[in-house]
């Protein structure tokens, strides 16, 4: 058999995908699994977005779409950036991708040369590091411990930047911790980045509207306009509007960068489905009341999950400011043995034993660059979350 490319040896399969496969295997055997491993809203897509897609199909918008996005969606994105973030992007400074993931991948492929470094605060979304490796880049994780609220400190960012640094990736509210930066904290990071004009800045703002307790979101080009000329602001409709399967993300950035990203996209997927783009435009331009209503529901879920997890022996759980994840420490469970006989030496052991014995799927913190933690999504209804947390409590009580 012919050999596969060497680069595959460096790129790992997403841990959340692996846990999803294991969950489905158990479910196929008739075992009732509660899957809290995926980062996917459980709410439906807004009806007006679905109707816009229907009307677009009826109008015949089923042909190849413009590679960088339809004029209607790019204009909606332009308005969104201005309305929500105070950022002015020309239409040729905006690109539409097949989800935020493709926008990020396009940017890295268009800029990273072999040996270039990509600075990533840790814990981080699993795909950042793996995508950096594909063009030959080297991910440089910067630990952001819980005692600092899982946030990046300016001095740690400064220490991580070298002459080989090509990108710094920021993601607040964060996946997997839910941590978010205040304007003052973002300003401190911006001061560091201003001292390194050769470094690109990427900010993944996918969870910007999922914030709680009066927290005010900000993005780095908004806080420091001098960085806008080398910042890629990434967002999408997946999390805010529960449109993960529509696969629509977008980015705003310098014209030359967007042009390079569009070139990459043209060789991989070309444009995003015109029907999906119509739905995304309707979501961005339509009523926004639903966003706040759903954020309030997520907050109630967060509060219950945090309280119940903190009652589980061996677990301590922070209260995040945003997103729909908690990232509890399981340090008190390490070195113990489950009722089923599995020795818990790592957070991976914990996640596997929890799935096998209590049929709750979570993702090990090692996948996000920090142990011993697990990521738990609370994008599920209250009854499901209550049952899942009760099973986790029982699992922990049974450890010996």
Q: Give the model's confidence band at 6: pLDDT under 50 very low, under 70 low, under 90 confident, else very high.
A: confident
Q: Give the model's confidence band at 29: pLDDT under 50 very low, under 70 low, under 90 confident, else very high.
A: confident
Between the alpha carbon of residue 6 and those of residues 76, 116, 117, the distances in Å are 41, 18, 19
Lowest mean pLDDT among 24-28, 160-164, 204-208, 333-337: 24-28
Query: To the nearest whole percent, how much of the chain has pLDDT over 90?
Result: 92
CB 309 within 8 A of CB 375: no
Instruction: Report DSSP state, residue 241.
Output: T
At 247 the pLDDT is: 98
Between the alpha carbon of residue 265 and those of residues 58, 164, 180, 369, the distances in Å are 27, 25, 30, 29
Average per-residue pLDDT in the chain? Answer: 96
Instruction: Report DSSP state, residue 201.
Output: E
At 7 the pLDDT is: 84
Residue 165, SS3?
A: strand
pTM of this structure? 0.95
At 25 the pLDDT is: 81
Report the 10 Å Cβ neighbour count for 85. Answer: 19
At 15 the pLDDT is: 67
Check whether 72 has a pLDDT greater than 80: yes
Model confidence pLDDT, tens digit, residues 322-348: 999 999 999 999 999 999 999 999 999
Instruction: Report DSSP state, residue 43.
Output: S
At 22 the pLDDT is: 78
Give the mean model confidence (pLDDT) for residues 9-17.
73
Instruction: Report DSSP state, residue 3.
Output: P
Give the mean model confidence (pLDDT) for residues 256-269.
97
Check whether 179 has a pLDDT greater than 80: yes
Structural domains for the chain: 6-44+290-397 (3.90.1150.10), 47-285 (3.40.640.10)
Give the mean model confidence (pLDDT) for residues 125-134.
96
At 128 the pLDDT is: 97
At 38 the pLDDT is: 87
Asked if the bond preceding 123 is cis, omega within 30° of 0, the reply is: yes
- Percent helix, strand and coil across the chain, each rounded to 5? 45, 15, 40
């Amino acid at each position: 058999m012919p050999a596969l490319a060497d680069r595959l040896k460096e790129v790992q399969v997403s841990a959340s995908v692996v846990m999803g496969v294991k969950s489905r295997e158990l479910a196929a055997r008739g075992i009732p699994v509660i899957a809290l491993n995926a980062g996917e809203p459980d709410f439906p897509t807004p009806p007006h977005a679905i109707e816009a897609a229907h009307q677009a199909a009826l109008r015949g918008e089923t042909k190849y779409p413009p590679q960088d996005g339809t004029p209607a969606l790019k204009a909606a994105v332009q308005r969104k950036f201005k309305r929500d973030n105070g950022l002015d992007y020309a239409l040729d400074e905006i690109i539409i991708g097949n989800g935020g993931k493709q926008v990020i991948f396009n940017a890295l492929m268009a800029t990273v040369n072999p040996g270039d470094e990509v600075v990533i605060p840790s814990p981080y979304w699993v795909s950042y590091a793996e995508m950096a490796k594909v063009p030959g880049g080297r991910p440089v994780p910067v630990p952001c411990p819980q005692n600092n609220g899982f946030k990046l400190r300016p001095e740690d960012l400064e220490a991580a930047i070298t002459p080989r640094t090509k990108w710094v990736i920021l993601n607040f509210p964060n996946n997997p911790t839910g941590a978010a930066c205040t304007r003052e904290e973002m300003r401190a990071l911006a001061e560091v980045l201003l001292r390194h004009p050769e470094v690109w800045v990427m900010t993944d703002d996918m969870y910007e509207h999922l914030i709680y307790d009066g927290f005010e979101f900000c993005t780095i080009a908004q806080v420091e306009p001098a960085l806008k000329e080398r910042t890629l602001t990434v967002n999408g409709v997946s999390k805010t509007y529960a449109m993960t399967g529509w696969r629509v993300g977008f980015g705003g950035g310098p014209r030359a960068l967007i042009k390079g990203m569009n070139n990459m996209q043209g060789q991989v997927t070309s444009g995003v489905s015109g029907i999906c783009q119509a739905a995304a435009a309707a979501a961005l331009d339509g009523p926004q009341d639903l966003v706040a209503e759903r954020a309030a529901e997520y907050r109630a879920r967060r509060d219950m999950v945090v309280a119940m997890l903190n009652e589980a022996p061996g677990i301590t759980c922070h209260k995040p400011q945003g997103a729909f994840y908690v990232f509890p420490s399981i340090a008190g469970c390490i070195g113990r043995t489950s009722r089923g006989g599995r020795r818990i030496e790592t957070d991976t052991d914990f996640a596997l034993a929890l799935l096998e014995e209590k049929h709750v799927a979570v993702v090990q913190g090692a996948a996000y660059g920090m142990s011993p933690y697990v990521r738990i999504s609370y994008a599920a209804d209250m009854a499901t979350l209550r049952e899942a947390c009760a099973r986790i409590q029982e699992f922990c009580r049974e450890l010996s």
